[in-house]
Structures are given as structure tokens and as C-alpha cells.
Amino acid sequence: MHQKYFLEQVKTKSIELGFDELGITDLKNFEFNSVKIKEFIDNNYHGEMYWMKDKIEIRSDPKNIWNEAKSAIVLGINYGPESNPLNDLKKVKRGYISIYSRRKDYHKIIKSKLKVLARYIQKIEPSKVKVFVDTAPLMEKPLASAAGLGWQGKHTNLVSRNYGSWLFIGVILTNIYFRNKKKIKSNCGTCSKCIDVCPTKAIIKPYTLDARRCISYLTIEHKTHIQKDFRIKIGNRIFGCDDCLAVCPWNKFAKKYSDIKLSYIKKLDMPNLKIFLSFSENDFIIYFIGTPIKRLGYNRFMRNVLIAVANSKDLSLIDDVLKKLDSRNEFIRAMAVWALFCLSKSRFLLEKKKRLEAEEFYYVRQEWFNGEYS
């Protein structure tokens, strides 16, 4: 079938399924990205995301993931928010969950749509296909950029002329060969808003993110202790961060998000920190079932909640924080000590007298013992 006619049909079907953007690319010319992704790993910017390093050879070139693949059909789904999420950062008694995760897990929703589209493609053009969203060792942003969906902005995410920075990416690899569409050049120009706004200065230079400093990484991927400087800058964010996306001037062209199946789960929209502090492990599982937050696990979730509580300066939370000093998990305990310190110095000193000696875990002792606290 002629490429143009084939694509018209696939595009129509993709819109019917709720996709907002579609582009195609061959799998040539990713040498630049291969070099950059290796630099990223060599500099340890991946932090504890060891899965990036382990699969670096496959990840560094889209051809490596499946030897029969010849082209990629790249899809975008808009998830632009109704209002500016930066305003939510002022609501310090509430927990900020990033915009992409205030809804059912996008992986499942997009993957099922991709599978339907892939079957449709096979019906109109006998071929082999494989579908990907996020989790495979495949460079989705460079692919989306090569397919003409937009360009990688200085924050490293894909920016679209139609949807700004708010676009999920899904990929269908196929053994059909498509001629490459012309790649869109970067339209960031002299703008540096995303670099300037980042609270932890994670975008260390244009187009380069040190994930170890990124609040999205710290609250979602980082499994252990979070250092003090970052804790203060994390503010009320308990899962992910949107600052670099939210300031992007290209968002003014973003159309409102439309697909009903990706709609918000209302209870994830700026929930009260007090409710979360009282959560047991079981409450956590029930509350977050079917959302991306569930994969954090209870311990990391509570660690994050306690950091937000520390930043809230809400004294009515002290009693709930005290209960967390008895947690079996050392990272929760450490952040409970920190939260208590931030909320009440006198109560902190009282509890320190009672608890420091019996504490064995290094990071918790540091929180009790840190010279400047005593």
C-alpha cells in the first residue's frame, strides 16, 4: 500500500482511539543520541536507576531492541492540565502529585490503545509490530522528535507545537520501512525558563538533566535517604514534579486534554497531608490501586509525605509525626525525626533524649545527632 494512503488510514484510526499526534520515522541517524546517552551513564546522572545502565547497549540505538524493526510509528497523547500546576505548590498543607499521575496509570491505558492500533495496522498491511510505552530500553523522546512530533526542549522532554510540554509518548515498531519525515529543529531559542525554574538546578546545562538532582527522580525513583538541601526544595511535592514543563511558553498553544479514559482521579488532586500521614500499608494500597503512585511502595511514599509535612510548618501534624518515630522502616523514621525538628524544636529535643541512644541506624542517628540541631 502507498505510504501516504496507509498513513491517512492509521492516523484516522489513531484519532478514533484518542491519540492526539502521530508521526513516523526510520531507525537511522541516532548516533548523536547514542553518544549522549552513554555520556549520561558515564557521568552517573542516572543515580540509582541501574536498569538504565544495565541495558545501555540496547537503549543507545532503537534498532537494537528488535532486529527486524525498520521504522517507528510514534504516538502522542495530550495530558495538559486545566490550570497552572505551579499554583498548587503554594498549598503547603496538601500533597502535590504530578499532573501525569493524577489519573489511572497511563502505561496501561496507552498500551491497550497501542495494541488496538497495532492490530489495525496488521489488518490493512500484513506486517510485524511491537508496542512500547516508557518501560522498555528504547529512546522514546529522540524517536518522537525524529518522527516530527516536536523537539527535545532544554528540559530534555519533547515539546510539541500543538500541546506544549504535556504529551505522553507511545511507540509502535514495525518491520515496514517508512521514509523519514523531516525532523523539527529546536524552537527553544534563547529561552531558559525551564532551567531557571528548577528548584534543585537539575538541568545542569541545556538539554542535559542530572537525574540525581531532579525532584521527579528523588520522589519516585530514589529508594533511600534524601539529603537535606533537596528536602527543603521538594516543598509539598510527594510524587514527581512539573515545574520545568509548566513554565514552558509553548504551553500557551496547548489544547485542553480531551480523552475521557485518561481523566483525572479527583482524590489525587491536592490531597490533604494529614490523611496520608495516618495511612497504614493497607490503606496505601487500597487508595492508590490502579495509579502510578502504587509502584512507589508504602515506605517511599511515607518518606515523601514526611518531607512535605516538614515543609508545611503545620503544627497540627505533630502528633501524627510522633507515631512515625516508631516506624520499623529506617528511612521513614529518619524523615519523621526531620519533620519533628522542623515543626517543634522543643518536642524534638525531648524525643531525642528518649530515643537517640537506642537508635542503631546511621541516617536516623544523623537526624537526631546533627550538630546544628542540638
Residues that bind ligand B12 (CB under 6 A): 33, 36-37, 40, 49, 98, 100, 133-134, 138-142, 152, 155-158, 167-169, 186, 207-209, 211, 214, 216-217, 220-221, 240-242, 244-245
Contact assessment for residue 209 and residue 203, using Cβ atoms and an 8 Å cutoff: yes
205: helix, strand or coil: strand
Residue 259 vs residues 20, 103, 288, 343: alpha-carbon distances, Å? 9, 12, 21, 42
Nearer to ligand B12 (CB atom), residue 167 or residue 305: 167
- The residue with its CB nearest to ligand B12 is 240
Is residue 80 near ligand SF4 by the rule CB under 6 A? Answer: no
Catalytic residue among 26, 61, 88, 134: 134
Considering the complex, what minimum distance in angstroms separates the CB of residue 162 from ligand SF4?
14
Considering the complex, what minimum distance in angstroms separates the CB of residue 106 from ligand SF4?
21
Pick what 248 binds: ligand SF4, ligand B12, none; C-beta below 5 to 8 Å, kind-dependent: ligand SF4
Catalytic site includes residue 242:
no
Beta strands 96-97 and 237-239 are: parallel
Nearer to ligand SF4 (CB atom), residue 129 or residue 247: 247
| Residue 112, CB-side half-sphere exposure with 13 Å CA sphere | 7
Nearer to ligand B12 (CB atom), residue 196 or residue 281: 196
Is residue 247 near ligand SF4 by the rule CB under 6 A? Answer: yes
* H-assigned helices in the chain: 3-17, 31-42, 50-54, 56-59, 106-124, 140-146, 193-197, 215-216, 228-234, 243-246, 273-277, 281-288, 298-312, 318-324, 330-343, 345-355, 362-369
* CB within 8 Å of 258: residues ≥ 6 apart: 18, 20, 78
Nearer to ligand SF4 (CB atom), residue 192 or residue 272: 192
Is residue 250 near ligand SF4 by the rule CB under 6 A? Answer: yes
SS3 string, 54-87, reads HCHHHHCCHHHHCCCCCEEEEEEEECCCCCCHHH
Residue 124 vs residues 5, 8, 181: alpha-carbon distances, Å? 11, 12, 21
Pick what 245 binds: ligand B12, ligand SF4, none; C-beta below 5 to 8 Å, kind-dependent: ligand B12
- The residue with its CB nearest to ligand SF4 is 153
Pick what 130 binds: ligand B12, ligand SF4, none; C-beta below 5 to 8 Å, kind-dependent: none
Nearer to ligand B12 (CB atom), residue 29 or residue 316: 29
Considering the complex, what minimum distance in angstroms separates the CB of residue 200 from ligand SF4?
16
* E strand or H helix at 263: none
Task: Compose the 173-202 pattern: x for residues touching ligand SF4 by CB under 6 A, - for all others.
Answer: ---------------x--xxxx--------
Considering the complex, what minimum distance in angstroms separates the CB of residue 350 from ligand B12?
38
Residues making contact with ligand SF4 (CB under 6 A): 153-155, 159, 188, 191-194, 247-250
